[in-house]
Structure formats: structure tokens, C-alpha cells
Chains A and B, each alone.
Chain A
Amino acid sequence: MNREEIRVVILALLKSIAPETSPQNLKPHASIRKTLDIDSFDFLQFIIALDKNFGIQTPEADYDQLQDMEGVLTYIERSLIGKHT
């Protein structure tokens, strides 16, 4: 799965959590939670969905790395590499 394919999945997940927003307009380093007005409950649902869709396990200590689109993409890429090695 390349970075663009990962991005498509992330955008779809964000859209399902915040349907009235436009996640595709998120700037790479803009806060996902603030921009899309996602509360802690929905953020947890987002991470659960990431884990399920990409088959990874995200510890709570890593949540800080998932604050913007760039961070999420990098984190998922690394996790997928870790999974296959």
C-alpha cells in the first residue's frame, strides 16, 4: 500500500466520523481534531478504525504522532513496514 492509497483510506475514515466536513482539504500539518472538530470520543473511534483497516495496533502512547495528516500517513507507513518485516 503506497502513501496515496493510505491517504484515501484515512480520508474515507475521517469523512465517516465527521460527515459534514471536507477532510480532503486538510493541510498536511493542520490539527485533524481542531480542523474537523473531532472530540476525544470520535478520535478514539478514528484510531480504532485505523487499527482495524490497516491491521495494526496503536498504543495510547503513540496518539501524539497522529495529530495531523502528515503524522498519520508516516505512522501508518512505518507500522505497515514493521508489520511485514
Chain B
Amino acid sequence: MIEFRMPSLGADMEDGTLTAWRVNVGDFVKSGDIIAEIDTQKGLIEIEFFEEGIVDQLLLKVGEKVKVGTAIATFKNESTLEKSVKKAEPTRSEITKASEENPIQEKKDARIRISPLAKIIAHENKINLEEIKGTGEGGIITKEDVEKLIKTGDTEKESVKKASTESIRMAVAAAMSKSNREIPQYYLTTTIDMDKAIHWLSETNAKRAIQDRILTVVLFIKAVALALKKVPELNAIWENGLILKNEIHIGFVVSLRSGGLMIPAVHDADKKNLSEIMSSLNDLIERARMHKLKSSELTDSTISITAIGDGGAEQVFGIIYPPQVAIIGFGSITEKPFAENGMLDVRSTVNVTLTGDHRATDGHTGSRFLNELKNLLQKPENL
């Protein structure tokens, strides 16, 4: 039996309110499936399940608010199922009988009296037939019953408002206060010549249709991911000690127009090519601004990047998002006098900062990382 608890979607989250179950009792759920929508300070988040099993009980009702860590559902996992099958070595007819009794939603639906049209509408709208009270002859569910529920459901959904600017501000405040209170942070900075990277990007983008063009920040994300492979100590979290992570999931700070920010993860950034990272960003930025992110995207970043963008400040010193141990800040790209090999030139440059958790690493490690990053950005064609 697997007990699924209200997940923590960040250092700042204390509780969550269930706004919808996306599964029914009896459904088979595989790793990565979305099982629920939870209303948090950061808006509605889709909650993923990372094991396999059959939904046994849904312990929380829509609208209920519980603390992080409270059990909200139980699942029968494979080992439980195997045990129950092996126990009595059942005959084929018993297996058939057992499978007939298995509380799979489809079987349940079959016992519910519903008009064919109502069934199609309910199926298209992913409505649990058990939730509908039939008002037709003999209690049969009619098209009108389903439509009435959809209408009510929509009204409820509308009333679940987007996370307010104030609640997002409070979430950012809580996470940043925790960071400053608990993490001894050190800061390093360096200036990187971006001439080659920008030139290469212009040439690449000239060959691409507009919707396939790549932004400079994509080069930053990929270069950080590859530099982390050389300096893995920064790709980690601190939870009663340093825990290095194999996967490189880069949290990208997205500013919300209404104020506040979200840090969704670009998963496996080291394995993605530049086009794939750009697609991920397009998707994540859009969903972050609509407050429609998945739980894993908000919780499993192994490092964060903040980029100021064109025309903004030249330098940004980020604050680490716990439990991560580093954040990389990219200032705006600006033309600067640049000396190299005894010659002075004007180059496009970017100022990069690293904020590191001094419990986890030392400045020497951080400095190695920035040097790797600098070298990688001089060979953009290899990114």
C-alpha cells in the first residue's frame, strides 16, 4: 500500500487545498501521471504521482485544505497486488471473477444507468459517473444531469481564483527569508566575452523560421548544464548534508507581470539540444504565467538561473532557493571595453555571478564552475 501525502512544492509551502481529483478509485496510475490539482500560494499546481499503482482511497474532498505531509490518497502497488494473487493460487475462473470484482472505474460505470449521449458527454469531460445523480426515469442519468454538473463544475473552477499577487509575494518572501536565515552564502563574479556566442546565434537564427529562433538565455542554460557536469558539487541540494544529484534540472526564474516570480525546472537540460531547451522554455514560461505548472517542475530543480535580460541591470546577485546550493545570475549583455592578449577591443559582454551555499562548497569550487562556463560560451557551436 502506498500512502500519498500532500507534497511540499517549495520551502515556503505549508498547506494546500484540493481543487480536483484527476483520478478515480480503481484507476491504474503510472509514474508521471497527474492525479490531482492543488491550490497553493503559487496558484493551481498539477500534482504528479511517481510510482505505479491502483487508486485505493481518495482521502480528501474537493475544497479541503490540509497541511503538507497529510495523507491524501492511498494506492495499491504492484507488490500488494502480486501478494493477493499469489496467496491462494486462484483458478482461472477465480481470476476472471476477481478481475470482474476489481473496482476499476469502467466496470463501475457499467453498473450505472446512464443514457448513451450522457455517457459520451461525461466521458469527454472526464466526469466520474458516480458523482452524478440521475433524474431520469428510474434514476437514469440524462444528458441534462451531466450538463448541469459540468456547469456547476465550471462555476466552481472559476471561483478558484488564480493565486493572488499578494500570496505569491508571501511565498517568495518565505522562501527568500528562509534562505537568508539558514544559508551562509558566498558570491563570485566574472565577465564573459559574448561576441562569438552572439555572432554564432545570429547566423543560426538567420536560418531558422521565427518560431524556431533561439534566445541567448538558452545558451546560458545549456552552458550551465554542461559546466555542472564538470563541477557536479554545485548540482545538489542540502538536506542535513550535501546530496549530489545525477539529473541536471535547471530552475529558471520567471518574472510574473503581476509581480513575484516562479522557478519552473527545465528538466535534463544537459541532455537537451538548444531547440529542445527553447521549446521547454516556451512551454514553461507560458504555463508559469498562467499559473499552470506541474508539481515536479516546481520541486525538483537542482540549481537555479536568473537572467536579467536586454536593457536591464548589468549584474544580479541571486539568493539561493533552498534546498538548492547555488544560483547563477546573468546580467544584461552590454558592450564594454575588453582587454585580451594585450589588446583593447569593444565586445559584447555579460556579467555572471554565482551565489553558493558555503556549507556545501567553497569559493574554489565556484570559481572552477565559472571558468568552465566561460570556456563553454566561447564555443557556442558545441553547446
- Chain B, Cβ-Cβ closest to A50: B210
Interface contact A41-B215, CB-CB below 8 Å: yes
* Contact A60 B206, beta carbon cutoff 8 Å: yes
Chain A, 35-64, CB within 8 A of any chain B CB: 37, 39-41, 44, 47-48, 51, 57-61
Contact B215 A58 (CB under 8 A): no
Q: Is the CB of B215 within 8 A of A59?
A: no
Residue of A nearest to B254 (CB): A41
Mark B305-325 against chain A: 1 for CB-CB distance below 8 A, else 0.
Answer: 000011100000000000000
Instruction: Let me know if A61 and B206 touch, CB within 8 A.
Output: yes
User: B215, A60: Cβ atoms under 8 Å?
Assistant: no
Assembly CA distance A47 to B216 (angstroms): 16
Instruction: Decide if A48 touches B309 in the complex (CB within 8 Å).
Output: no
Shortest beta-carbon distance, B311 to chain A, in Å? Answer: 6
Contact with A along B202-241 (1 / 0, CB 8 A): 1001100011010111000000000000000000000000
Task: Write the nearest CB–CB distance from A35 to chain B, whole angstroms.
Answer: 11
In the complex, the answer to whether B285 meets A41 with C-beta atoms within 8 Å is yes
* Binary per-residue interface labels of chain B (192-207) against chain A in the complex, 1 for a CB within 8 Å, 0 otherwise: 0000000000100110
Contact indicator B215/A18 (Cβ below 8 Å): no
A47 and B215 contact, CB distance less than 8 A:
no
Query: Which B residue sits closest to A47, measured CB to CB?
Result: B210
Query: At the interface, yes or no: B255 with Cβ under 8 Å from chain A?
Result: yes
Whether A34 sits at the interface, judged by CB under 8 Å, is yes
Contacts of A31 in B (CB 8 A): 311
Contacts known (A44-B215, A48-B211); A39 close to B255, Cβ less than 8 A: yes
Give the interface size class of chain B: 10 to 19
Q: Which residues of B contact A47 (CB under 8 A)?
A: 210
Q: Shortest 10 CB-CB distances between A and B: which pairs?
A: A60-B205, A39-B309, A40-B309, A48-B210, A40-B215, A40-B310, A41-B285, A51-B210, A48-B211, A20-B257
Provide the residues of chain B in CB contact with A39, threshold 8 Å: 255, 309-310
Q: Complex: how many Å from CA A51 to CA B211?
A: 10
Is B54 among interface residues, defined by CB-CB distance under 8 A?
no
- B348-380 contact mask (Cβ, 8 Å, vs A): 1 or 0: 000000000000000000000000000000000
Spell out A's residues near B (CB within 8 Å): 18-20, 31, 33-34, 37, 39-41, 44, 47-48, 51, 57-61
Question: What distance in Å separates the Cβ of B378 from its nearest Cβ neighbour in chain A?
Answer: 22
Within residues 266 to 317 of chain B, which ones have a CB less than 8 A from any CB in chain A? 281, 285, 309-311
Say if the beta carbon of B258 comes within 8 Å of chain A: yes
Alpha-carbon distance between A58 and B311 when the two chains are bound, in angstroms: 22
* A60 and B213 within 8 A (CB): yes
| Residues in A whose Cβ lies below 8 Å from that of B217 | 40
Q: How far is the CB of A10 from chain B (nearest CB, A)?
A: 17
Bound complex: CA of A41 vs CA of B307, how far in Å? Answer: 12
Q: Which residues of A contact B216 (CB under 8 A)?
A: 40
Task: Name 15 A/B residue pairs within 8 A (Cβ), A-sorted.
Answer: A20-B257, A33-B310, A34-B311, A37-B257, A40-B215, A40-B216, A41-B215, A41-B285, A44-B210, A48-B211, A59-B206, A60-B202, A60-B205, A60-B213, A61-B206
A18, B206: Cβ atoms under 8 Å? no
Q: In the docked arrangement, what's the CA distance between A47 and B210, Å?
A: 8
> Which residues in A have their C-beta under 8 angstroms from that of B285?
41
Chain B residues within an 8 Å CB radius of A41: 215, 281, 285
Question: Which residues of B156-174 are within 8 A (CB) of A?
Answer: none
Most chain-B Cβ atoms within 10 A of its Cβ — which of A18, A59, A60? A60
The answer to whether B215 touches A61, judged by C-beta atoms less than 8 angstroms apart, is no
